Structure 1
Amino acid sequence: MSDVVLRTPGLLSRFLPCIRADLEVAETCSLAYDTSLDCPVHAFAGADDRLVTPDMVRAWSTVTTGTFDFHLFPGGHFFIQTSQRQVVDRVLTALGPLLSPTALVGPAATQEVHIPTAEFPRRKSG
């Protein structure tokens, strides 16, 4: 977490509920996989992350029978903020073959892709 957030009480109080919820999920959630994924998995970690260590992220290799690529970036838990350009480059490299016009051929090339979205209740103001 940024020093600015930690030193600014009003800002810190806005982040704490989200951080508490993340920690609760991390402490109480236990996932069991009956089936492995049959697709590539790309895992990203911050080298100095003490909350989710690089070894914990590497453990995701067990969820796929496809390829597993582990990417380590400088920074802690919020490495995406300090290594944003490198993370975006890695994501684009991974997705590049899927985004090219020749990646999809046949019936799949003309199908619409439906991405489900979740709507979250908005806080009432006032």
Structure 2
Amino acid sequence: MGVDPASRWFRFLNRCHDPRFRLVCFPHAGGSASFFRTWGPFIPQDVELIAVRYPGREDRLLEPVVDTMAQLVEPLARDCSRLLDKPLAFFGHSMGASVAYEVALRIERDKERGPQQLFVSGRSGPGSVVKGRRLADAPDAELIADLQSLGGTQASVLEDPELRALALPAVRADYRLIERYEASRSTVSAPIVAYFGEADADVGRDGVDAWASVTCSSFARRSFPGGHFYLADHVRELIDDVLARLAPVTGSGAVTPGVLPNTSLR
């Protein structure tokens, strides 16, 4: 088993010949694989770091965007299932958290096993009330204002007319995907750890705790200072936390993590 390194769905940010485990990262709405490029320096050499490449952006810019969860999940689950020859974990931020969850469910259904850990970030769990307006078909100015308020898109991209014209179709498709999305509400076997920014106006603790209902294993949460894109300012601390939680799951040796205020609800 093994995934084709030329898979159009994956960018290998830390490639290993014989990885101890693999961490697959799913970007946010409007995001791309390069969002996780800053993680590389903090990842051990024997851990394979893989970022998901959504269509319609970066090196898949000429491909049609997709605007339904099913269109993303089916091919992603197929390629992710080829990674199961090594211990596997998923990390998803915002929309990526929901994509990671749905891909994990599909792999378990098809292969009877899935990732050993699911990390979700900046996203309320299935069944919770999601705040926010419907912006997929809003005027450009309104959509851009929302992106700027979240802080996840570089200002230079939004200010340059040509770059903005290239970026907005993918953003609209992702927003439409989320606005149409109805969560499966089924349970995954993997433990779930939920991260969120303490100042995130759209993701509160009750919404975060809703993730506990979709795992038949353990659930924990951790908050960081900051808003929806808290992780941009806390890369090292977040990765230390992820690696420390993966150590007992993968049977790997101890890592040198930061402080781990782990609130377990199960």
With the shorter chain as reference, the TM-score category is: 0.5 to 0.7
Q: Which of 61, 64, 69 pairs up with 2:220? A: 69
Structure 2 matches for 1:102-113, cutoff 5 A? none
1:21-49 per-position Cα deviation (integer Å, ceiling 9, x unaligned): 3322222201133x422221111111112
Q: Any conservation in 2 of the 1:54–1:72 contact (CA below 8 Å)?
A: no
For 1:24, give the aligned amino acid: R
Q: Which of 5, 8, 29 pairs up with 2:181? A: 29
SS at match of 2:222: strand
Q: Which has the higher helix share?
A: 1
For 1:20, give the aligned amino acid: R
Answer yes or no: is 1:56 the counterpart of 2:207. yes
- Tell me which residue corresponds to 2:159: 9
RMSD (Å), alpha carbons: 2.8
Q: Which of 38, 46, 50 pairs up with 2:197? A: 46
Q: Which has the higher strand share?
A: 2
Greater radius of gyration (CA): 1
- Percent of counterpart pairs with the same letter? 32
Aligned residue pair count: 100
- Tell me which residue corresponds to 1:82: 233
Instruction: Return the offset for 1:15.
Output: 4.6
C-alpha distance 18-49 of structure 1, shift in aligned 2 (>3 A): farther
- Tell me which residue corresponds to 1:100: 252
SS at match of 2:217: coil
Mapped to 1, the partners of 2:153 and 2:181 lie a distance apart of: 29
Q: TM-score, normalised by structure 1?
A: 0.63
Q: TM-score, normalised by structure 2?
A: 0.33
